[in-house]
Amino acid sequence: MECEAGFRVPGDRVKREISLIGPIKHIGLICPSLPPGMGKEGRPGTKPERAAVFLGQDGLSRAGDGVQWFTRRFHGKNIQEKNPLMSETEQNQTIIDSHPTEWDEADFRRNWSQFLQMLVGENENALPLKRIQYQVEQSPIYKEVLVRWSGLSGAERLGAWKRLLQAAEEVSREVLPACVQCGTCCRKGSPSLQLEDLELLQTGRIPWNQLVTLRRGEPVQSPFDRKPFFLLDERIKIRERADSQECVFFNADTCLCAIYADRPVQCRAQACWDPAPAQDLAKQPYLTRRDIFKNVDLLLEIIVEHDKRCSFRKLNDAFDRLIETKGETVGEVLEILSYEEHFRNFIGEKLKVPSGQVELVFGRSLTDLVPLFGFRVIEEPDGSRCLVPETA
């Protein structure tokens, strides 16, 4: 099936059911996904029971049912995600079925990482794993134990391990109310800009080519209750990495931010241990293209016209009709995509909009939003493009 716009799609490949699923953007302070949590079925119900998991039922230095349960607990079905604190090699190694008195330094590190993962999985205040790890490992007790572990006697290792478990428990209950730059917020997504951030753009401290507009009517997800909704007004967001939701300014290897000294106000309000500051800030005015280009009347008029002719609602309605007609109106979808692409390319070229700033001026292209409906656009060798199901 072909249309005047040059797109074509095999009629028998049109997906019959379409829903707003896929990489829905998140707005607000952070861009959180919904990571798989650790299952709580069968977890120990009390702290003494958990201590038995790591120390043996009687707390002495011999291996027993508690240590065996420890191995099963971490290599059984209750674990639903890889431990981000461990390397790929460590992930594939089986935890030694032994007592802390028998661990070498490598065993100690692996068991310590596994304990932290379980602690976070059972912790009802949902503190990030790296947050707890960072805070505990900055304590004198952890540094001392790590340095001395190889030279400790069996009894000393047992006592040191017990002190570490207690320290981790205390941190999980009494978190330090300060940012430790663990990178948790930055990994979950990039910030939306507030009106107060305009000066950072005007002075070039935040590059314009690292910004993207989420337009009115686009589906997004709240960072607070995780519920999807349609934007009532636009948002200007810092870009995220293509292969993840990480902010482009975040260095995952060093946990450092490239613009930390000039970070947006939402970044300054982030508190992985307390959402209240972010929720309060969300009530303040957001930055929009009207603020950024307020002295460029022609560009603002073109932006308004683009939003009117190429809105997300038009694309959504076209896909609704595609379902109702069982694929017969595919030409309507393709025409909208072709027109919007021509509009942004033609106007961008005429106004000499830098290629890296097109998504700030016109927002994400409608073609980039097609996966939300379970489709994707592919280009054939002859230059024509097809609309095909995501699973094709």
The span from the CA of 329 to the CA of 320, in Å, is 10
pLDDT at 25 over 70: no
CA angle 225, 231, 237 (to 5 degrees): 85
Q: Return the pLDDT at 167.
A: 86
pLDDT at 10 over 80: no
The span from the CA of 267 to the CA of 269, in Å, is 5
pLDDT at 343 over 90: yes
CB distance 331 to 342 below 8 Å: no
pLDDT at 161 over 80: yes
Q: What does the CA dihedral 108, 110, 116, 122 come to, rounded to 10 degrees?
A: -120
pLDDT at 312 over 70: yes
Q: What residue has token string 């190889």?
A: 150
In tens, the pLDDT along 212-253 reads 999 999 998 887 777 888 999 999 999 999 888 899 999 998
Dihedral pair phi/psi, residue 212, rounded to 5°: -140, 145
The span from the CA of 2 to the CA of 345, in Å, is 22
CB distance 243 to 258 below 8 Å: no
Q: Return the pLDDT at 392.
A: 64
Of 53-57, 191-195, 328-332, 360-364, the least confident: 53-57
Percent of the chain with pLDDT over 70: 74
Quick check: helix, strand or coil at residue 73? helix
pLDDT at 347 over 70: yes
Measuring CA to CA, how many Å separate 132 from each of 175, 244, 363?
8, 23, 38
To the nearest whole number, what is the mean pLDDT of the chain? 77
Q: How many residues does the chain have?
A: 392
In tens, the pLDDT along 258-300 reads 999 999 999 999 888 888 899 899 899 999 999 999 999 999 9
Locate 43 and state its tokens. 């977890």
The span from the CA of 334 to the CA of 385, in Å, is 9
> Which range among 59-63, 120-124, 262-266, 382-386 has the greatest average pLDDT?
262-266
Residue ranges of domains in the chain: 1-18+295-392, 47-173
What is the DSSP pairing of strand 385-389 with strand 7-8?
Answer: parallel
Locate 205 and state its tokens. 């401290």
Helix (H) or strand (E) holding 291: helix 289-292
Q: Return the pLDDT at 126.
A: 62
Locate 104 and state its tokens. 């070498």
| End-to-end CA separation in angstroms for the chain | 17
pLDDT at 381 over 50: yes
Q: Return the pLDDT at 132.
A: 81
pTM (two decimals): 0.67
Q: Return the pLDDT at 99.
A: 85
Q: Return the pLDDT at 65.
A: 33
The span from the CA of 284 to the CA of 235, in Å, is 13
Q: What is the mean pLDDT of residues 17-34?
A: 33
pLDDT at 6 over 80: no
